[in-house]
Amino acid sequence: MAEDGGKRAHLSPPGPSAGELTHIAHENYSSSQENKIQSHSSKLVTRPNVGDESNDGPPPPLPPRPGVAPSPQAATTKVQSIDVQTLQFPDGSRGTFQTPGARAMSTPVQLAANSGSSTPGRSSTVDADDAMSVMSIVAPTLRPPGDLASLMVSDMSRKSPAWQLLRSQSASVKPFETVRLDVRDSLADFAQEFEPVPGTSEQGGLGDEQRLAVWKSKLKHYMILSSSGKPIYSRHGDLSVVNSFMGVIQTIISFYEGADNPLQGFTAGGTRFVIVTEGPLYFVAISRLGESDAQLRSQLEALYMQILSTLTLPNLTSIFAHRPNTDLQKPLAGTEPLLSSLADSFTRGSPSVLLSALECLKLRKSHRASITSAFLKSHAGGNLLYGMIVAGGRLVSVIRPRQHSLHPSDLQLVFNMLFESGGIRSGEGENWIPICLPAFNNRGYLYMYVSFFDAAENTAPSSTSNSSDAVPEAIPFSPTHPTPQATSSDSIAIILISPSPTSFYDLQSTRNNLVSSLTKGPLLSHIRTSIQSGRPSLTTQISPGTPLSHFLYKSRANVQFCMPSSSPQFDSPLPRRKLMSLYHSLHGAVHARHCHLKVLHSVADDSTSLAWITPTFELYCVAGPNVSRAAMTQGANRIVQWAKREEERLFIIGGGVF
Amino acid sequence: MASRGPPGARGGMNTRFAQFKLVLLGESAVGKDQFDSYRESTIGAAFLTQTISLDENTTVKFEIWDTAGQERYKSLAPMYYRNANCAVVVYDITQASSLDKAKSWVKELQRQANESIIIALAGNKLDLVSEQPDKRAVSTADAEAYAKEAGLLFFETSAKTAENVRDLFTAIARRLPLDQVGPRHSRPGQRQGVSLNPESPNTNVGGPCAC
């Protein structure tokens, strides 16, 4: 095993096993340098910025295979590169590739003794050759003090007051705060990402070339076209800009289709093109954000699901069976905002999409139980399939029949429609929406009853008064329009889904029953309190004093995740995207095919991160660039303990079943 | 269902309260959604209630179904208009084609809906035309002549500025049979007509939609 890993660390390009070869071929922008970095991860700090395609693409970190005896002393460096990948967690979960013997154990201990810096002391165990080879690929830019220390031979650095001072500073550096002057930030234009490409019709508008330049400056494109080359959807630019490209894309794809060797994706410069063919439709994602093929593919699948949820599969098939040249834009009319908001949530980076999991509103177990039982009691027939209370995209309560469970991809479509697209804004109206939930059944429509009520304290839902016999006050017509004051983040929606198109009034009375039992007791105020307090803060509530800055914790059994408040560090779109890019690369690395990583510790210029996969949970966490592996491990353990302790508050376990 | 009072008029001391079903129909881009200003785009149908007072002691409550204008939802429309007491068919006065669409809705309503349905034709986006008169594509006289011929109420409205919207609803309310409506008087506008409607075409789950 050790030999295996060691060789990879030294060979460039690395000699991966047959299984990995395919993957690397896919990720052909990942350099050999990257593979070196991966295997030396805790040592090297060469990664350019996160988000730069050349580094964060998720090539598999080449886990050494078990079963080979450790190599002799000559292989010090090889062992070194391996125990980097080895983390000892108290629950006994270790990488499949840990080195036997004391060496693997010794590193964390040593690091703990050095508390805070990632490398000092390591130099003593690394032989000179290795140090050379390591240093040669460290870019001579802002490096954490650890590497400076490893340049010096003696231990004196550890005692020098200057060094102590530096080190005490270094631990407090937050992720993504280091600035590299030599590398242009590929995300520099992210702020303009969502601005529309100006149209031709605008007076005094830009010329074609300028518009094209704006269009090309976008970091991410999604395009949908029919197999006959008719454009269906493009995230950026109107058809005059995009039309010719659609033609080119159609030609390329159909060339490979014709050869019976469908094109999956290709790379041009730092841009990755990924293609998904679904029946008569071509989906293309063009990304400079460094996502993996699998991630881009799942994003395209989600767009396909959105189209199905509008049309249903039999409909879509029959449209193209009758007329292959159909312009699908017409049947899809009115759903562009849904596709765009879905696409933008991918571009911004959505933990829910990345983890294919849902997020719940944190509530006390007893409160959630009372809400769910009130929900079950309110159930007034109408052939209910699913009932949900959702607050700002986070589930509060779910009721469902025993034989059906919820599919995250379906709920993603529903939440996108209700909370992201602005298609249905919160107000006092009630909505009755035919929708196909493709993961549940892609052949037919379900009917969704949606009613919002504001989380603000004062507004009582109107229908409670409807239910009484009192004559409503006569109010002048126009001012009765509900004002859309509540933003989507703090509005509460009741969603009731039925297969019956005529069950509106039954579901309406279910809703009215529920609203009155929520407002009668303290339950609604429990929900509001939780909404107002937001996600728990990592540093003050979850794990005081933690070196970590952010994490995602997914409970695999419940298909749900939780995360701490993003404020203040990751509030704005750019740091958020950097954080999400890092999560994407971690996720891509640990979920790469043929890769059985359990723990991945990755150190870069601007951050350190850890992914930890067990059968029950997945944890991804991020810290500043100089946080030691030991501190990181400890922080990760604290989060896992916290999540276990709070499990029944963070997650809905089972939900209400009727 | 259980918690809702029966539709129809209830007499207080000397007040009248009547409740009616109204359906809003029209092409998707006519600005019909502005009639209930909380919706930006129309996906599915929205259900809302609107109460207006005709005079001191007469209150009319409309239960409004605002349907989506898109073609693909067309097969669902009968579900909404079948038992409606009144309908507002909206067109866009800046788009001639939208009037044709409105005419076909009127035809469909007259053929399929409740016989006594009161239909109002509303030419929307009056605000655009008052700013730029050259934008008008449908003349008031033409539309009015058609409305007269087909027996419709007619208004040009601006849902954006609320111009004439209230007048439109008031006019509808005045045409409705307020006095005949009593608790014992079973009108076709009762909602069980909508809720139990298995024969409604193309809406069964699992079956492909014919649109």
Render A466-517 in DSSP notation, one character per residue: HHSSSPPPP--TGGGSPP--S-GGGEEEEEEEES-TT-HHHHHHHHHHHHHH
User: A399 - beta bridge partners?
Assistant: A387, A656
Residue A472: list chain B partners with CB under 8 A: 51, 59, 61
Cα separation, A288 vs A286, in Å, equals 7
Q: Are residues A332 and A368 both part of a single domain?
A: no
**What is the model's pLDDT at position A617?**
94
At A169, is the pLDDT very low, low, confident or very high (cuts 50, 70, 90)? low
Of A54-68, A172-186, A404-418, B68-82, minimum mean pLDDT range: A54-68
Query: H-helix or E-strand containing A272?
Result: strand A271-278
Q: Are residues A437 and A338 both part of a single domain?
A: no
Interface check B145 vs A, CB under 8 A:
no
**What is the model's pLDDT at position A420?**
76
At A489, is the pLDDT very low, low, confident or very high (cuts 50, 70, 90)? low
Query: H-helix or E-strand containing A386?
Result: strand A386-391
The domain that holds A322 is classified in CATH as 3.30.450.70
Instruction: State which of A499, A532, A565 marks the end of a domain.
Output: A532
E strand residue ranges, A499-650: 548-555, 560-562, 599-603, 608-613, 617-623
Cα separation, A299 vs A193, in Å, equals 17
What is the number of other CB atoms lying within 10 angstroms of the CB of residue A239?
A: 11
Mean pLDDT over residues B205-211, rounded?
42
Highest mean pLDDT among A36-50, A164-178, B182-196 belongs to A164-178
Q: Is the pLDDT of residue B34 over 60?
A: no
Q: Is the pLDDT of residue A193 over 90?
A: no
Interface check B133 vs A, CB under 8 A:
no
Of A428, A467, A471, the CB nearest to B4: A467
Mean pLDDT over residues B26-39, rounded?
55
Q: Is the pLDDT of residue A592 over 50?
A: yes
Cα separation, A340 vs A336, in Å, equals 6
**What is the model's pLDDT at position A142?**
46
At A424, is the pLDDT very low, low, confident or very high (cuts 50, 70, 90)? low
Write the pLDDT tens digit of every residue in A123-137: 333 333 433 333 333
At B77, is the pLDDT very low, low, confident or very high (cuts 50, 70, 90)? confident
**What is the model's pLDDT at position A168?**
60
Please identify among residues 377-396 of chain A the ones whose CB lies closer than 8 Å to any CB of chain B: 380
At A12, is the pLDDT very low, low, confident or very high (cuts 50, 70, 90)? very low
Cα separation, A415 vs A421, in Å, equals 9
For residues A387 and A496, the answer to whether their CB atoms sit within 8 Å is: yes
Write the pLDDT tens digit of every residue in A18-70: 333 333 333 333 333 443 334 333 333 333 443 444 444 455 455 555 444 44
Q: What Rg do the C-alpha atoms of chain B give, in angstroms?
A: 17
Mean pLDDT over residues A175-194, rounded?
67
**What is the model's pLDDT at position A182?**
52
Mean pLDDT over residues A511-519, rounded?
90
Cα separation, A611 vs A589, in Å, equals 9
At A636, is the pLDDT very low, low, confident or very high (cuts 50, 70, 90)? very high
- What is the identity of the amino acid at A517? S
Question: What is the full DSSP assignment across chain B?
Answer: -TTSPPSS-EE-SS-EEEEEEEEEEE-GGGSGGGGSTT-SS--SEEEEEEEEEEETTEEEEEEEEE---SGGGGGGHHHHHTT-SEEEEEEETT-HHHHHHHHHHHHHHHHHS-TT-EEEEEEE-HHHHHH-GGG--S-HHHHHHHHHHHT-EEEE-BTTTTBTHHHHHHHHHHHS-TTT--SSS--TT-THHHHS-TT-TT-STTSPP--
Q: Tell me how close the Cα of B100 comes to any Cα of chain A, in angstroms.
A: 18
Note whether B79 contacts A501, CB cutoff 8 Å: yes
Sole residue written with tokens 């070194």: A80
Q: Is residue A196 part of a domain?
A: no
Q: Is the pLDDT of residue A283 over 60?
A: yes
Interface check A503 vs B, CB under 8 A:
yes
Q: Is residue A47 part of a domain?
A: no
Question: What is the domain range of residue A289?
Answer: 218-348
Q: Are residues A297 and A400 both part of a single domain?
A: no
**What is the model's pLDDT at position A34?**
40
Write the pLDDT tens digit of every residue in A343-370: 999 998 889 888 989 999 999 999 999 9
Cα separation, B4 vs A512, in Å, equals 9
Q: Are residues A628 and A603 both part of a single domain?
A: yes
**What is the model's pLDDT at position A30?**
38
Interface check B197 vs A, CB under 8 A:
yes
Q: Are residues A336 and A398 both part of a single domain?
A: no
Residue A335: list chain B partners with CB under 8 A: 43
Decide which of B119 and A203 is more confident: B119
Mean pLDDT over residues A582-592, rounded?
90
Q: Tell me how close the Cα of B51 comes to any Cα of chain A, in angstroms.
A: 6
Note whether B70 contacts A334, CB cutoff 8 Å: yes
Write the pLDDT tens digit of every residue in B117-171: 999 998 888 888 888 888 888 888 999 999 999 889 998 888 777 778 888 888 8
Q: Is the pLDDT of residue A108 over 60?
A: no
**What is the model's pLDDT at position A619?**
95
Helix ranges (H only) for A11-85 are 18-26, 32-39, 53-56, 76-83
Q: Is the pLDDT of residue A425 over 70?
A: no
Sole residue written with tokens 């003593």: A124
Of A23-27, A186-190, A333-337, A582-586, minimum mean pLDDT range: A23-27
Q: Are residues A487 and A526 both part of a single domain?
A: yes
Mean pLDDT over residues A380-401, rounded?
88
- What is the identity of the amino acid at A430? E
Cα separation, A135 vs A409, in Å, equals 46
The domain that holds A473 is classified in CATH as 3.30.450
Q: Is the pLDDT of residue B31 over 80?
A: no
Interface check A422 vs B, CB under 8 A:
yes
Of A207-216, A314-323, A519-528, B32-41, minimum mean pLDDT range: B32-41
* Closest by CA position to A470, among listed B100, B167, B12, B1: B12
Q: Tell me how close the Cα of B120 comes to any Cα of chain A, in angstroms.
A: 17
Q: What contacts A288, CB < 8 A, 6 or more positions away? A: A53, A186, A219, A220, A270, A271, A272
Q: Are residues A227 and A275 both part of a single domain?
A: yes
Q: Tell me how close the Cα of B74 comes to any Cα of chain A, in angstroms.
A: 11
Query: Reduced to 3 DSSP states, what percent helix, strand and coil does chain A have, rounded to the nearest 5?
Result: 45, 15, 40
Q: Is the pTM of this model over 0.90?
A: no
Sole residue written with tokens 């005079």: B55
Highest mean pLDDT among A69-78, A511-520, B39-48 belongs to A511-520
At B209, is the pLDDT very low, low, confident or very high (cuts 50, 70, 90)? very low
Cα separation, A147 vs A160, in Å, equals 16
Q: Is residue A411 part of a domain?
A: no
Cα separation, B129 vs A507, in Å, equals 42
**What is the model's pLDDT at position A359?**
92
SS3 A132: helix
Q: Are residues A588 and A497 both part of a single domain?
A: no
- How high is the mean pLDDT of chain A? 72
- What is the identity of the amino acid at A43? K
Note whether B43 contacts A499, CB cutoff 8 Å: no
Cα separation, A5 vs A63, in Å, equals 7
What is the number of other CB atoms lying within 10 angstroms of the CB of residue B125?
A: 25
End-to-end alpha-carbon separation of chain A, Å?
52
**What is the model's pLDDT at position A148?**
45
**What is the model's pLDDT at position A257?**
86
Of A429, A448, A502, the CB nearest to B197: A502
Cα separation, A76 vs B34, in Å, equals 73
- What is the identity of the amino acid at A73? Q
* Closest by CA position to A587, among listed A548, A564, A561: A561
Mean pLDDT over residues A531-548, rounded?
86
Between the CA of residue A268 and those of A73, A271, A382, what are the distances in Å?
43, 5, 54
CB burial of residue A604 (10 Å; 0-12, 13-18, 19+) = buried
Q: Are residues A287 and A144 both part of a single domain?
A: no
Q: Are residues A501 and A546 both part of a single domain?
A: no
Percentage of chain A lying above the pLDDT 90 cut: 24
Q: Are residues A557 and A608 both part of a single domain?
A: yes
Q: What contacts A119, CB < 8 A, 6 or more positions away? A: A42, A43, A146, A147, A149, A150
Q: Is the pLDDT of residue A7 over 60?
A: no
Cα separation, A198 vs A219, in Å, equals 17
**What is the model's pLDDT at position A26?**
38
Q: Is residue A59 part of a domain?
A: no
Main-chain dihedrals φ then ψ at residue A569, nearest 5 degrees: -70, -35
Of B1, B15, B205, the CB nearest to A509: B1
Q: Is residue A181 part of a domain?
A: no
**What is the model's pLDDT at position A91?**
54
For residues A595 and A61, the answer to whether their CB atoms sit within 8 Å is: yes
Q: Are residues A250 and A285 both part of a single domain?
A: yes
Q: Is residue A262 part of a domain?
A: yes
Q: Is residue A380 part of a domain?
A: yes
Interface check B210 vs A, CB under 8 A:
no
Mean pLDDT over residues B88-102, rounded?
87
C-alpha dihedral, A411 to A414 to A419 to A422, nearest 10°: 160
Sole residue written with tokens 């460094």: A290
Q: Tell me how close the Cα of B164 comes to any Cα of chain A, in angstroms.
A: 11
- How high is the mean pLDDT of chain B? 73
Of A312, A315, A502, the CB nearest to B79: A502
Q: Is the pLDDT of residue A150 over 50?
A: no
Report the number of distinct structural domains present in chain A.
4
Angle between helix A504-520 and A365-378 (nearest 10): 140
Q: Is residue A152 part of a domain?
A: yes
Of A77-81, A144-148, A590-594, A609-613, minimum mean pLDDT range: A77-81
Q: Is the pLDDT of residue B93 over 70?
A: yes
Q: Tell me how close the Cα of B48 comes to any Cα of chain A, in angstroms.
A: 5
What's the token pair of residue B111?
A: 């053929």
What's the token pair of residue A368?
A: 């959630």
Instruction: State which of A515, A532, A549 marks the end of a domain.
Output: A532
